[in-house]
Amino acid sequence: MPRKLLVPMVLAALALLPGTVAADQRDRRLDDLFARLQSTARAGEAQAIEQRIWSIWSETADPQAGILLQEGLSAMAHRRFGDALERFDRMVEQAPHFAEGWNRRATLHYLMGNFRASVLDIQRTLDLEPRHFGALSGLGLIYDAVEQPAAALRSFEAAVAINPHLDTIEQRILELRRQLAGRPT
């Protein structure tokens, strides 16, 4: 077989292998992981599944977007928010279909107190990955911070419906339900 025909065939075959599929919110492995997250009762297993989901969400087929993500996360961890924002802005511009890019920028905006910008990025995240329990939790935190308890409750409940192992969110749901019912939290 001529080499010019063999190379595309090999590349196409490699693209079908589980370890080489471009992972992100469209990764086929996520459906199984979300099903397992719903069905497990073991905290350790749920934590491992969550970590695998986050890992897949953080992978991108665009190497430059991956570098920008890592640089932005590093800057954010060192509280260099301006540097992080510059990286994340470039990342979402370069890879607009990468849900985790939008989610990380939403997190940064939240940390910077830019709630409106954070909500816009969360909405984009959820457009791309409606099962993003992290984005839904973040939305609940924003609504909580701006004293919109009913909206916070809806967001937290949506997150827990996807990932029933968000124990701290479950506690806040109970508190918000009591608050909205007029009982002391």
Q: Report which residue type is found at 93.
A: E
Q: State the pLDDT at residue 10.
A: 34
Check pLDDT > 80 for residue 120.
Answer: yes
Check pLDDT > 50 for residue 6.
Answer: no
Report all structural domains of the chain as residue ranges with CATH numbers, in order of start.
Answer: 23-180 (1.25.40.10)
Q: Read off the DSSP letter of residue 57.
A: H
| 82: exposed, middle or buried (Cβ count in 10 Å: 0-12, 13-18, 19+) | exposed
Q: State the pLDDT at residue 25.
A: 81
Check pLDDT > 50 for residue 11.
Answer: no
Q: State the pLDDT at residue 28.
A: 87
Q: From 97, 108, 169, 98, select the one nearest 133 (Cα to Cα).
A: 169
Q: Identify whether the C-beta of residue 147 lies closer than 8 Å to the C-beta of residue 170.
A: no
**What's the start-to-end Cα distance of the chain, in Å?**
73
pLDDT: is 5 or 147 the higher one?
147
Q: State the pLDDT at residue 43.
A: 94
Share of the chain above pLDDT 90, in %: 82
Averaged pLDDT score across all residues of the chain: 88
Q: What is the mean pLDDT of residues 52-79?
A: 96
Q: What is the mean pLDDT of residues 47-72?
A: 95
Q: Read off the DSSP letter of residue 96.
A: T
Q: State the pLDDT at residue 41.
A: 94
**DSSP-based helix, strand, coil % in the chain, nearest 5:** 75, 0, 25
Q: State the pLDDT at residue 27.
A: 84
Q: State the pLDDT at residue 26.
A: 80
Q: Report which residue type is found at 170.
A: E
Q: State the pLDDT at residue 185.
A: 62
Q: From 99, 124, 119, select the one nearest 109 (Cα to Cα).
A: 119
Q: State the pLDDT at residue 23.
A: 54
